[in-house]
Chains A and B, each alone.
Chain A
Amino acid sequence: MVRRHAIGAHYGLRDWLMQRITGLVIALYSIVLVVALVAGRLPLDAWQEMFAHTWFKLATFLTLISVFLHAWVGMRDIIMDYIRAAAIRLALEVLVAAALVVYTGWAIQILWGVR
């Protein structure tokens, strides 16, 4: 049986953990990218050539999905903190979730789309 806690001491643990794991993935990708950029190893043509590699597409995709999940937890926290009216809160959460699903589709199109 799957226990789902809407309230109580354990509510939010999964989100808390997901925020840290996705954060680590994003941090790793960003740090490698920034170091390569500052070291001058990443001019625009070299950057574009990277996308020919499947492993780089997958690494970028994993990072983007982590960004979207991370943004979901973060934006939901912000909405829950500042918006009290249930209808507005729900509407904003739906808006954020919808945007992130659209972005996921867009990310796939960017990474695997025809040139």
Chain B
Amino acid sequence: MAAPTPTTSPRRTYRNINVSDLARYRLPLPGIVSILHRISGALLFFFLWLILWLLQASATDTARFHTLYANPLVKVIVFALLWSVMHHLCAGIRYLYLDVSHRATDLKPARQTALAVIVVSLVLTLIVGIKLW
């Protein structure tokens, strides 16, 4: 007797996705927050030397700080780092909330808080950015 043929219909699976699949793969909002958390964290690590350098100059040498901060390249990086701090901070607070609340991991609240992280961190970047200009 022949084995019965499987009745399940084939469905698209995303196992071991390749870099080339990234454009096709629709990342949900919480996923976007997650990868941005990682990217912003890595960015902050890579520029820790600049952050410490600016801290040193700002704390000890006003003239050197102004020279350093007047550099357009430094300014661009500082604003990228400012967004990184704000996003990483907001997303980090969201993760702490996810740790302590079961409701937070439901689909709808997870999406809402993810959107809130993106919006609030952009607004904070703008507010502090204007102040730091």
Contacts and interface: CB of A to CB of B under 8 A. Distances in A.
A66 B45 CA distance: 13
Contacts of A23: 92, 96
A13 interface: no
B2 interface: no
A72 to B, nearest CB: 9
Interface string A90-115: 00000010010001001100110101
Given A23-B92, A38-B127, A107-B52, A75 B45 contact: yes
B60 A48 contact: yes
Contacts of A107: 52
A103 B52 contact: yes
A110 B62 contact: no
Interface stretch (B8-16, B36-44, B110-118): B36-44
B58 A47 contact: yes
Interface residues of B, number: 26
B106 interface: no
Given A30-B85, A44-B65, A78-B38, A103 B128 contact: no
A34 B127 CA distance: 10
Identify whether the interface residues of A are mostly helix, strand, loop, or mixed: helix
Nearest to A24: B96
A53 B99 CA distance: 36
Given A30-B85, A71-B45, A78-B38, A110 B52 contact: yes
Contacts of A44: 58, 62, 65
A30 B89 CA distance: 9
A106 B48 CA distance: 11
Nearest to B59: A51
Contacts of B48: 67, 71, 99, 103
A12 interface: no
B26 interface: no
Most chain A CB atoms below 10 A, which of B45, B55, B60, B124: B45
Nearest to B56: A110
Closest 5 interchain pairs by CB?
A110-B56, A71-B45, A74-B41, A51-B59, A23-B92
Interface of A: 20, 23-24, 27, 30-31, 34, 37-38, 44-45, 47-48, 51, 67, 71, 74-75, 78, 96, 99, 103, 106-107, 110-111, 113, 115
